[in-house]
Amino acid sequence: MSSKLPELFEKNRQWAAKVNAEDPDFFEKLSKQQKPEYLWIGCADSRVPANQIVDLMPGEVFVHRNIANVVVHTDLNCLSVIQFAVDVLKVKHIMVVGHYGCGGIKAAMDQAEHGLIDNWLRHIKDVYRLHKEEVDAIEDDHERFDRMCELNVIEQVANVRQTSVVQSAWKNGQELHVHGWCYSISNGHIKDLNVTSSNNEG
């Protein structure tokens, strides 16, 4: 079986040449520093690339991704990203972005065993337990999964708000807004779940 890695290197060269043709100073400016205004906390699904979805170039979005865009207070990786984004980069917006048709959500809601990932999925199962009555009342499977995707985002927004980093930023008067969105792979559009918080009263 032939490797496709050389193809990726070629695609990289083509991309770099295209960007350089459009903006000869782009990579020089990019190498100096990054000043993103946004932290994107999203799903690791390969169909949900942060920069492309919002049509922003490299350097404009700081990104953290994991299965089902979960924010857990014991996840030092995620917490470190949030701290660096807020304290060092001084981002103004944190977006928790889920997506409809999320495999992590579906896996959490079925009764099958999935191995090691079950330890991660239990955080989503907790969201389901919190909203079990609402979710179970939805008869259509597709609509039920979609609603769980939204509820998961809403809970993760709450988790972001409760982090000591975000609490300290708000206490110190730093401009910081936390948003909850859901992306539709079927049409490419983002839905605002209207749970934006800009302080502890949001």
Sole residue written with tokens 């927004």: 157
Per-residue pLDDT tens over the stretch 147-200: 999 999 999 999 999 999 999 999 999 999 999 999 999 999 999 999 999 986
Q: What local confidence, expressed as pLDDT, does residue 47 receive?
A: 95
Percentage of the chain beyond pLDDT 90 is 89
* Domains, the chain, ordered by start: 1-32 (no CATH), 34-192 (3.40.1050.10)
126 catalytically annotated: no
47 catalytically annotated: yes
Radius of gyration of the chain (CA): 19
Report whether 45 belongs to an annotated binding site: yes
The strand pair at 190-192 and 177-183 is best described as: antiparallel
149 catalytically annotated: no
Are 118 and 109 a contacting pair, CB within 8 Å?
A: no
The helix/strand/coil state of 164 is helix
182 catalytically annotated: no
Read off the tokens for 123: 């955080």
78 catalytically annotated: no
Q: What local confidence, expressed as pLDDT, does residue 1 receive?
A: 45
Q: With 0-12 CB in 10 A as exposed, 13-18 as middle and 19+ as buried, what is 37? A: middle
DSSP conformational letter for 53: H
Report whether 114 belongs to an annotated binding site: no
Q: What local confidence, expressed as pLDDT, does residue 202 receive?
A: 54
Q: Which residue in the list 13, 23, 47, 73 is annotated as catalytic?
A: 47
